[in-house]
Structure 1
Amino acid sequence: MLRHPTPLFPNMAFSIFRTAQRTHSFRVPARSIFCSPATDTAGYGSGPPPSRFGPRHFLSVDDVTSPEFEHLVDLAKKAKRAIRAGQTIPSLKDTLAGRTVAMMFSKRSTRTRVSTEAAVAHLGGHPMFLGMDDIQLGVNESLLDTSKVISSMVSCVVARVACHSDIVQLSKTSAVPVINALSDTFHPLQAVTDIFTITECFPDPKGIKIAWVGDANNVLYDLAIACGKCGINLSIATPSVYPVPPDTLQLARNAAYLSGSSIETTHEPETAVKGAHIIATDTWVSMGQESEKALRLKQFSGFQVSSNLAKRGGANGDWKFMHCLPRKPEEVTDEVFYSPRSLVFTEAENRLYAAIATLVAFVVKRGKFGG
């Protein structure tokens, strides 16, 4: 999956958000999180809180409550069941008829673009893809002006950006819901997909254990928050030079405290996989980090997911494997990737149903869903 696209608005310098970022932009969230007593409410930590009359945005899993997140997963299940049966959920048929969804992508994408366009079409709407070469994204027009103009003509903006601050700024001035299709800090659509995929194997996932073995990145951050909200235990193994940012870890642990689950971190893959029902990983070398490939491969030595790792660490006997793609052989062996343990292609297909669920919740239902 595309990890480090060129900035959506290269000429815009949002200094207030940039100051918190380090050389590796995936490592530190683009906003500070002030810890307070954990409550099961939408945190809105990734962006501005919704106004009483304005649209509700989905920039991170932290933007929804536990019941709302579970509702998104349930909607995805219903969508898959209907589509697999060659049907359409009657209450959702043509709910986006006559409406356009703008897809503002800074770089090419496979799963996110195809799933989003297909989801909009399934609901009877018109997906409008807007890439860097299609409109004046930060070239002759400010982000504020672009946001106001585009949102006045469409019903939703699905944005895939580099810096999370870009999508936060976009949401502040948008008159319609903004959905994060990937930023350097969060990837909520993938988190909905992953939890949905997990529930297909474990209908009641509360109490199971997921082991993440690999890089600390945007996919992991939203997955960790989602696990916390769903009562899933998560053990994260990353190289010591790539720890999970404390602010992001606290978000996940706040959610886990309420659900009774745990979020642990280690730098030993064997420790993470002990008793794991699912082992997950992601790319080690993101787009834009190609010059660091040799160094990063050395830093990730010993982190390849394999049957041998699972055996050494004592993973659950029927453990499954997940990867959101694209995959490189150094991240996971062919033996695991193409084995019956692998859920990767089901996971990829489920991106469609997660996109449908999100569009229904935030556009059709205007952010009022899930109790």
Structure 2
Amino acid sequence: MKRDFLNVSDLTKEEILHIIEYGIKLKKDRFSDRSLKGKSIGLIFMKPSTRTRLSFEVGVYQMGGQPLYITGSSTQLSRGEDIKDTGRVMSRYLDGLVVRTYSHRELEELAVYFDKPVINALTDYLHPCQILADLQTIYERLGRIEGIKVAFVGDGNNVANTWLIAGGVVGFNVSVATPEGYEPSGKAVYEALKHADKTGAQIQITNNPVEAVKDADVVYTDVWVSMGQEGEKEKKKDFEGFTVDEKLIKHASKNVLVMHCLPAHKGEEISEEVFEEYADLIFEQAENRLHAQKSLMNFLFK
């Protein structure tokens, strides 16, 4: 039976830890895994991308496969072809799909009709590949994941949603601080709490960034205006006091890690000074997209 990765919770805690550990191994020898030799992997991108596209294209190549980059406008999807028909056609050609799109519901529908594994490379609801790479980065730096505290400060977007669910599944504490009215999805919070009942993770939603980052091992942020929301620039006014700056991170753990999934709008969600202080870590996050996703593809596509 095929396995998809549309949500972090599609994997068990043990599977996530296995993928992280194998990703660290692949980082030391980039061409050691050739499990995609002879396979063609479709990369459907309905949204622009830098890190996601590069990491998946390079990753498939390094694993011996053929990456096929497909823009939304280059398929019949742009002319109204049914998603289920697209999925059934692509099943005849491809060995796996990586999809970056707007609607999570449409991704789920595509996964029903594509008969091989599908990876969520970002939707409006979740960004699970980003969090896999972030967890690998944290594990490399701290030597552990379970029991840590991750504080997310900013907009309750797809990245915040995914952090909550990941915390519940793996068993680490997550505190999300947003302005009032910008909280994470209630669906994500519900799922996080459901998993947390089993793992003992603590899940917190607050409108106070100082409260969120108190004693945090990791302080994480993302842009306030996500891709596709460029017409909502006025919402930035609501985020006053939610910048990750030196004043805020003083409330975190002494050896705090400050992370950002990029691209960064310095001076908004993160100060220039804090970004540069943690730049090596932030760009290691970006690099680890390659290694964590190769490990994931080995798990799903081989």
- TM-score, length basis structure 2: 0.96
| Alignment partners' CA distance in 2, 1:104 and 1:131 | 6
Do structure 1's residue 322 and structure 2's residue 269 form an aligned pair?
no
| Alignment partners' CA distance in 2, 1:102 and 1:288 | 23
| Alignment partners' CA distance in 2, 1:160 and 1:120 | 16
Do structure 1's residue 199 and structure 2's residue 199 form an aligned pair?
no
SS at match of 1:133: helix
SS at match of 1:343: helix
Count the aligned residue pairs: 301
Amino acid at match of 1:322: M
Of Structure 1 and Structure 2, the greater helix share is in 2
Give the equivalent residue in structure 2 for 1:271: 211
**Higher mean C-alpha displacement, 224-233 vs 61-70:** 224-233
After TM superposition, give the deviation of residue 238 of structure 1 in Å.
Answer: 0.7
**Higher mean C-alpha displacement, 324-333 vs 252-261:** 252-261
| Alignment partners' CA distance in 1, 2:46 and 2:287 | 23
Give the equivalent residue in structure 2 for 1:164: 104
Contact 1:322–1:342 (Cα < 8 Å) also in 2:
no
SS at match of 1:316: coil
Give the equivalent residue in structure 1 for 2:273: 335
Give the equivalent residue in structure 1 for 2:242: 303
| Alignment partners' CA distance in 2, 1:310 and 1:115 | 30
Amino acid at match of 1:356: K
Q: What are the within-5 Å matches in structure 2 for residues 89-108 of structure 1?
A: 89=32, 92-93=33-34, 95-108=35-48
SS at match of 2:43: strand
Amino acid at match of 1:68: E
Give the equivalent residue in structure 1 for 2:11: 64
| Alignment partners' CA distance in 1, 2:7 and 2:201 | 20
In structure 2, stretches of 5+ residues that fail to align are none
In structure 1, stretches of 5+ residues that fail to align are 1-52, 365-371
After TM superposition, give the deviation of residue 341 of structure 1 in Å.
Answer: 7.1
| Alignment partners' CA distance in 1, 2:82 and 2:22 | 36
Give the equivalent residue in structure 2 for 1:18: none
Give the equivalent residue in structure 2 for 1:280: 220
Q: What are the within-5 Å matches in structure 2 for residues 1-371 of structure 1?
A: 53=1, 55-83=2-30, 88-89=31-32, 92-93=33-34, 95-294=35-234, 296-311=235-250, 314-329=251-266, 330-340=268-278, 343-364=281-302
SS at match of 1:137: helix
After TM superposition, give the deviation of residue 345 of structure 1 in Å.
Answer: 0.3
Deviations 1:295-337 (A, max 9, x none): x1111110000011122xx211111110100010211011110
After TM superposition, give the deviation of residue 138 of structure 1 in Å.
Answer: 4.1
Label 1:358 to 1:57 Cα distance change in 2 as closer, same or farther (>3 A). Answer: same
Give the equivalent residue in structure 2 for 1:20: none
- TM-score, length basis structure 1: 0.78
Deviations 1:262-292 (A, max 9, x none): 1111100000011011110111001222221
| Alignment partners' CA distance in 2, 1:169 and 1:180 | 12
SS at match of 1:68: helix
Identity %: 39
| Alignment partners' CA distance in 2, 1:72 and 1:205 | 13
| Alignment partners' CA distance in 1, 2:171 and 2:113 | 35
Contact 1:213–1:281 (Cα < 8 Å) also in 2:
yes
Label 1:145 to 1:138 Cα distance change in 2 as closer, same or farther (>3 A). Answer: farther
After TM superposition, give the deviation of residue 99 of structure 1 in Å.
Answer: 1.0
Q: CA RMSD in A?
A: 1.4
Deviations 1:38-95 (A, max 9, x none): xxxxxxxxxxxxxxx4x22110001111111111111211111223xxxx33xx32x2
Contact 2:72–2:78 (Cα < 8 Å) also in 1:
no
